[in-house]
Amino acid sequence: MRKRSKRPRTLTPDERARYARQILLPGIGPAGQLRLKRSRVLVVGTGGLGSPALLYLAAAGVGTLGLADFDAVEVSNLQRQVIHREDFKGRSKIESAVDALRRLNPLVHIEQHETRLRAGNALEIVRGYDVIVDGTDNFPARYLLNDACVLARKPYVYGSVFRFEGQASVFDARRGPCYRCLYPSPPPADLAPDCMESGVLGVVPGLIGLVQAAEALKLLLRAGEPLLGRLLVCNALAMRFEEMRIVKDPRCPACGRNPAITRLTDVPDGCDRGAAGDISVVELKAVMARGERVTVVDVREPHEAAACRIRGATLIPIGELPSRINELDRDRLIVVH
């Protein structure tokens, strides 16, 4: 069990000088800055989202930052994972991130969790922090983090990116919906964007990671209006931010009235393309002939669909799928092309 350090009672002269412009803000002052110093934030993933979130949380004076990652720095990371440098290529991402954070702000205490979060360790790690920031890039980690935060009664600052778009929200089952209220279960493998080949414009995780840092600071300071019950969607090509309401689902398997998830279990990896079932055109025709309610979703790009349309299909390009998933009737059989 991690031994918790004593809560600091005052700001040092160095801290007052470093955070002077922040202390001047109404609603923060010395008391708010001391609250940040006493706070503990866990950032899971030190990649595209975790990089800006960590840098700004450290710069703001969050007293203890926990870093959870198990990967190594690759050259292809550097286009978006701005906390890392080329001379750390091949070395631990945590080692690289700690070096950058200590150079930025040596007054911040850093705790390292160089491990993959799994059902066996996630709850113990999450319980040691006040706010959890999700910098992961896959569905298994996202659902595991959400469930751990629900069980540990911790706020979960969510972010995700795909190509030119990103999303952010705050989930806290004590005060509103959790991630599973929005997406009850992971998508089939054929609906999940490929983890290695989907691509992303480097500034998009920067935008979303900064939103996550801002939300974490607001939660710690108890200031402003957090993104509870709201999903912020960013389209960087149009530079448009839109907001959607998220309602707490009484049937949610994690935070509903009768939750089915009472302990953590590992979620199968959405990058495993063999996880989804295939259905042939002949089989689909037979299913429809039996009168079953079927929705065919075409996830190709519009220019691909224009070349050969599927009669009766709903066109939702895969890049738009995360923000439009609620358009689909979950009581119907969903077949994806």
- Summarised one tens digit per residue, pLDDT across range 122-144 is 999 999 999 999 999 899 999 99
Q: What is the mean pLDDT of residues 21-32?
A: 96
Determine the Cα–Cα distance for residues 171 and 219; give it in Å rounded to an integer.
Answer: 11
The residue with tokens 């993104």 is 227
The residue with tokens 């795909």 is 162
State residue 161 phi and psi, 5-degree precision. Answer: -140, 155
Q: What number does CATH give the domain 278-336?
A: 3.40.250.10
Residue 269's pLDDT band (boundaries 50, 70, 90)? low
Position 1 scores a pLDDT of 47
Determine the Cα–Cα distance for residues 239 and 213; give it in Å rounded to an integer.
Answer: 20
Position 257 scores a pLDDT of 94
Secondary structure letter of residue 79 according to DSSP = T
Position 216 scores a pLDDT of 98
Strand segments (E) across the chain: 40-44, 64-68, 109-113, 131-134, 156-162, 165-171, 230-235, 240-245, 294-298, 314-315, 333-336
Provide, rounded to the nearest whole percent, the portion of the chain with pLDDT above 90: 70
Determine the Cα–Cα distance for residues 68 and 103; give it in Å rounded to an integer.
Answer: 19
Which regions of the chain carry the CATH code 3.40.250.10?
Answer: 278-336
One-letter amino acid at 8 equals P
What token pair was written down for 17? 């000088």
pLDDT above 70 for 2: no
Contact 266, 183 (CB under 8 A): no
Torsion (CA) 23, 25, 27, 33 in degrees, nearest 10 = -20
Contact 182, 246 (CB under 8 A): yes
Which regions of the chain carry the CATH code 3.40.50.720?
Answer: 39-245
Determine the Cα–Cα distance for residues 67 and 94; give it in Å rounded to an integer.
Answer: 7
**Average per-residue pLDDT in the chain?**
88
pLDDT above 50 for 273: no
In CATH, which superfamily holds the domain spanning 39-245? Answer: NAD(P)-binding Rossmann-like Domain (3.40.50.720)
What token pair was written down for 288? 């429809």
Position 322 scores a pLDDT of 64
Nearest one of 44, 28, 11 to 128, comparing CA atoms: 44
Determine the Cα–Cα distance for residues 335 and 205; give it in Å rounded to an integer.
Answer: 30
pLDDT per position as a tens digit, 65-87? 999 999 999 999 999 999 999 99
What token pair was written down for 315? 């066109």
Nearest one of 230, 236, 172, 246 to 201, comparing CA atoms: 236
Greatest alpha-carbon span in the chain: 76
pLDDT per position as a tens digit, 175-234? 999 999 999 888 766 566 655 557 899 999 999 999 999 999 999 999 999 999 999 999
Determine the Cα–Cα distance for residues 264 and 123; give it in Å rounded to an integer.
Answer: 8
Residue 298's pLDDT band (boundaries 50, 70, 90)? confident
Position 121 scores a pLDDT of 95
Determine the Cα–Cα distance for residues 58 and 90; give it in Å rounded to an integer.
Answer: 24
Contact 319, 165 (CB under 8 A): yes
Q: What is the mean pLDDT of residues 55-69?
A: 98
